[in-house]
Amino acid sequence: MRPLVATVDLAALRHNYQLAKQCAPGRKAFAVVKANAYGHGAPAAVECLRGLADGFAVASLEEAEQVRSVDASAKLLLLEGCFEPNEYAAAAALGLDVAIEGEAQLDALLAADIARPLNLWLKLDSGMHRLGFSADALRRAHARLQGAHQVAELNLMSHFACADERGNPLNEAQLEQFSGLLDLAFDSRSFANSAAVLTLSAAHMDWLRPGIMLYGASPFAELSAETLGLKPVMALTASIIAIRDVEAGESVGYGAGWVAQRASRIATVSCGYADGYPRTAPPGTCVSILGQRAPLAGRVSMDMLAVDITDLPPAALGDAVELWGNEIPIDELAQACGTIGYELLTKVTQRVPRRYING
């Protein structure tokens, strides 16, 4: 078996969910498990949080069906709503809460013949300009839904564009847009993503929507997950599968761009960009071997990468190599590659086996 595994710490996942709840006492929280629980495995994440989470949130009907196969009764929010008119019947059969983000979805809902009414979440475009009604259009939608047989609960939600930038004036502007609709009757309200859960208490409302924080990565460039009290959930670990000595002046890897400045010892490691490790990782990006950091040497290949272990004499064939996890924070790697932890986690491919532990 190829020596590569993504180890998922379910105890850390529970810790991070409970931390989200502690940030906003008395509020409920949807655990966002879209995109296969950010690459961690949605069935395992839902089973782990079953009975602890107040609800779950997903991006599509297919993801909702996967959650329902594990938890038949949890409150389950379809964040982008239904994409086709015939999906409303399926959403009702699954007992979903459903977002309504525009006129087309509203018209399709009101024309739908469904077995039972739905809990609806009207989405306000408060400044993100991605999905949602304008404030005036939302008021009209609210009026149209009053008394409709398709409606059980009627709720309000929106999404921040810059909550990960503390002090950004758009955050306050979006809150003002949201607050301007609070004269309307809603059963519940939801605004706070991970960044707002952690630092923007005015946005906590009735329901939180923690996503990336559940998986132990920080939504902020300037605040580490450790500083925020989050625990890493995934550790991506490979092994040294070959070691060779190269002389000064010899190159390593595709393009021959990395050239040894001294006689060097190079380890080949069983992970590459087809596994989800970023090809954009620059030479010098560190992995952890025997609890010590060692830098990449040359370009990341599809199935392998090379590491300079010259300064790590004890390193040997078969030694574990942490690409990210407890020793190498995923956010550190993401910043080195010009991306974010969200992308790295969701790009861990299916050929990487997930191994689940409880702390």
Predicted confidence (pLDDT) per residue in 241-277, tens digit? 999 999 999 999 999 999 999 999 999 999 999 999 9
Cα end-to-end distance, the chain, whole Å: 25
Instruction: List, in order, residues 6 or more apart from 203 with CB less than 8 Å away.
Output: 160, 163, 171, 175, 178, 191, 192, 196
What pLDDT score was predicted for residue 359? 81
Long-range contacts of 180-187 (CB under 8 A, 24+ apart): 180/135, 181/124, 181/135, 181/138, 181/139, 181/156, 184/139, 184/142, 184/156, 185/154, 186/122, 186/154, 186/155, 186/156, 187/119, 187/153, 187/154, 187/155
What is the tens place of the pLDDT at every residue in 108-142?
A: 999 999 999 999 999 999 999 999 999 999 999 99
- Number of neighbours of residue 293 by Cβ within 10 angstroms: 15
Instruction: List, in order, residues 6 or more apart from 156 with CB less than 8 Å away.
Output: 121, 122, 124, 138, 178, 181, 184, 186, 188, 189, 190
123 is catalytic: no
Evaluate if pTM is beyond 0.95: yes
Interstrand relation of 234-246 and 4-9 (parallel, antiparallel or unpaired): antiparallel
* Domains of the chain, each with CATH number or no CATH: 10-217 (3.20.20.10), 234-357 (2.40.37.10)
Angle value at C-alpha 292, between 286 and 295, nearest 5 degrees: 25
Residues of the chain with pLDDT under 50: none
Amino acid identity of residue 107, one-letter, is: D
Among 17, 21, 28, 34, the one annotated catalytic: 34
347 is catalytic: no
